[in-house]
Amino acid sequence: DGGITQSPKYLFRKEGQNVTLSCEQNLNHDAMYWYRQDPGQGLRLIYYSQIVNDFQKGDIAEGYSVSREKKESFPLTVTSAQKNPTAFYLCASSANSYTDTQYFGPGTRLTVL
Amino acid sequence: AQKITQTQPGMFVQEKEAVTLDCTYDTSDQSYGLFWYKQPSSGEMIFLIYQGSYDEQNATEGRYSLNFQKARKSANLVISASQLGDSAMYFCAMSTRTDSWGKLQFGAGTQVVVTP
């Protein structure tokens, strides 16, 4: 089945630790995206990548880093520099045009203890 | 800068009735796409319907239709014959050709609760 997988579903982290969220897609999409969602709010774009080995900052990139070494994979690292990392993180992919639908993974809920 | 506004934070609707969710947008770009997503309590974002800025007819997908009024910059979602499974958060989103390919701007969402 084609789709987007994210792991883990739930993640707990101690303050000061870096943590990496996984995102994999087998839809053969060029573009991939990371969003953050806080309770009762819409989604905000963290980073996006339109092609392998290239990515751009979104609206709230500070404290996050990404890599895009393979077309299928777009991992997100939440660093210790992110001041308020507890949130729901959603990964998406699309065929890389403003008219193309973004399809989302199931999300990872990160809690900092 | 582009912006999406959803003015209804929450609403109740009776099963089998229709419901309209409001969405207005603001962009100076002539080329853009409008999307509606559903987010149930599980958290996953489910794509519902798409309307392109040059589409002359309103989009429809099963029980979902998009009431697109370009001059008013309005893209309301209509859900006909509501079902209990329609209870969820609904988000309106927009992408424009000039503001980065595929980058989506989301509204704050509308919580819909369908009652028996």
Query: Is the pLDDT score of B33 beyond 70?
Result: yes
* Chain A residues close to B47, C-beta within 8 Å: 101-104
Residues linked to residue A45 through DSSP beta bridges, in sequence order: A35
List the single best residue of B39, B48, B111 to mutate versus A (max A Cβ within 10 A). Answer: B39
pLDDT at position B1: 65
Give dist(CA A71, CA A94) in Å, integer. 12
Task: Note the pLDDT tens digit of each residue in B82-107.
Answer: 999 999 999 999 998 887 667 899 99
Residues A25-41 have pLDDT tens digits of: 999 999 999 999 998 88
Structure tokens at A4: 């987007």
Residue with tokens 């839809």: A27
Partners of residue A92 in chain B, C-beta under 8 Å: 45
CB contact under 8 A, B45 and A90: yes
pLDDT per residue as tens digits for the range A5-32: 999 999 999 988 999 999 999 999 999 9
Please enumerate in sequence order all residues whose Cβ is within 8 A of that of A42, keeping only pairs 6 or more positions apart, or say none: B4, B91, B106, B107, B108, B109
Closest partner residue to B47 (CB to CB) among A31, A43, A103 is A103
